[in-house]
Copies of this chain bind each other. A is one copy, B any other.
Amino acid sequence: MTPENAIRSLDQLKIELPSWGFADTGTRFGKFFQTGSAINTADKFADAGIVNKFTGCCPTVAVHVLWDFVAGEDPKATAEIAAKNGVKIGSINPNLFQDQAYKLGSFGNPDAEVREQAVRHGIECSKIGEAVGSNLISYWFADGTNYPGQDSIRARKRRFENCLKSCYDELAEDQVMLIEYKPFEPAFYQTDVADWGMSYALCKKLGAQAKVLVDTGHHYTSQNIEQIVAWLLDEEMLGGFHFNDRRYADDDLTLGSIDPYQIFRIFNEIHAYAAETGSYPEIAYMIDQSHNLKPKIEAMIQTVTTAQELWAKAALVDREALGVAQRSGNIVDAETILKSAYNSDVSPLLAKWREEKGLDADPMEAYRKSGYLQQIEADRTRRRKELGITQDSSYA
């Protein structure tokens, strides 16, 4: 692909920010608090708006239903907050893990009443989606078991099939249900939707509005993610991504911080698919990271710009030459063609794209100079004091 086309391909990469990514988060060993972290939904959208302002490619924000909507109130209130900050509501994320009722699972729970509660919540989420103009309902399940024997794996599978169907049947025509998979955590023996094959099998039974969601950190160690992406693309079953990076488990680090070449190879599959079919697939690119230590807004900007860099590099792969090398079994050249694109300095391309959009060539620097952090630190410190919120220790 020519540099000019690579620049154009950047228009395809719209990255959704997670509202929960601006609040304090941590590990089971506690949280390290940040003075500038978001206190409420308005703060989250304000911060997301800032990331979008400086990067120019984050027009939507994923919302967590329990945290970003007030029960009993019109969900459009949240949409208005979004609009005020120059963004829109993106994927709707049900919460099926937090309520004490979900101790033994949500859709997989042995208790029919709990399953009904979970299904009601799922349906409510799609109604909220309709109300706020979002067509993505993004399901992640903490469901599973911690000990051998704890529950019947097949019974849980069938409960999932039934509950998902109940939710699927209530989708609006243009809504898409994304089903995420994850090998483990918080379930430590068996997770009900543990790998792409389980997510795929469930989606196939539901129908054309169900698609697989690939979280880049939710794989067995060594598993080839780009192959899963390639298969799902070929099956027209890839609905979206959750962006983050990992070294050990579901570490939720910023994208490309541990293995940038892998992210490049994933993006390469998407560009290759587009080159072959003539258009980019409809995929939701969403960030889902937890940055306990990095400043939240900076961590978000870093992931966004890293994604753009790796996307642009992958766009530069010489597909014609690659095809020739592949067909003739020239492994060394095929790999070199990939590496050559990967090693390209794409900063001029990104600068040009940003210039076209009226953006600063260095979003991080521009953000830092803007004084936004100083302003929210002062504001939120003051409000925390008023609200009586301490940031001393999260461990009890």
Contact = CB atoms under 8 A, between A and B. Distances in A.
Chain A interface residue bracket vs B: 35 or more
Interface string A27-38: 111101100000
Contacts of A153: 226-227, 230-231, 269
A316 B286 CA distance: 33
Nearest to A260: B261
B224 A221 contact: no
A247 B184 contact: yes
Given A184-B248, A190-B227, A195-B195, A100 B146 contact: no
Nearest to A24: B396
A191 B283 CA distance: 25
Contacts of A334: 147, 149-151
A72 interface: no
A295 interface: yes
B147 A253 contact: yes
Contacts of A272: 152, 154
Interface stretch (A51-59, A115-123, A321-329, A379-387): A321-329
A8 interface: no
Contacts of A194: 223-224, 227
Contacts of A226: 153, 190
A70 interface: no
A359 to B, nearest CB: 18
B247 A189 contact: yes
Contacts of A33: 100
Nearest to A323: B152
Interface string A204-237: 1000000000000000111110110011011100
- Listed residue (A33, A149, A189, A299) with the most chain B CB atoms within 10 angstroms of its CB: A149
Nearest to A181: B197
Contact of A185 (B98, B248, B265): B248
A258 interface: yes
Contact of A253 (B146, B155, B273): B146
Given A30-B98, A147-B253, 7 more contacts: A29-B185, A149-B322, A149-B338, A150-B331, A152-B272, A184-B247, A190-B224
30 contacts: A27-B186, A99-B393, A110-B329, A146-B331, A147-B257, A147-B331, A147-B335, A149-B334, A150-B334, A153-B230, A153-B269, A154-B269, A157-B230, A183-B223, A184-B247, A184-B249, A185-B249, A188-B247, A188-B251, A189-B258, A194-B223, A196-B197, A200-B201, A220-B220, A220-B221, A220-B222, A224-B247, A294-B331, A302-B332, A309-B343
Interface of A: 24-30, 32-33, 97-100, 103-104, 110-111, 142, 145-155, 157-158, 183-186, 188-191, 194-198, 200-201, 204, 220-224, 226-227, 230-231, 233-235, 246-249, 251, 253-254, 257-262, 265, 269, 272-273, 276, 292-295, 298-299, 302, 309, 322-323, 325-329, 331-332, 334-339, 343-345, 364, 391-393, 395-396
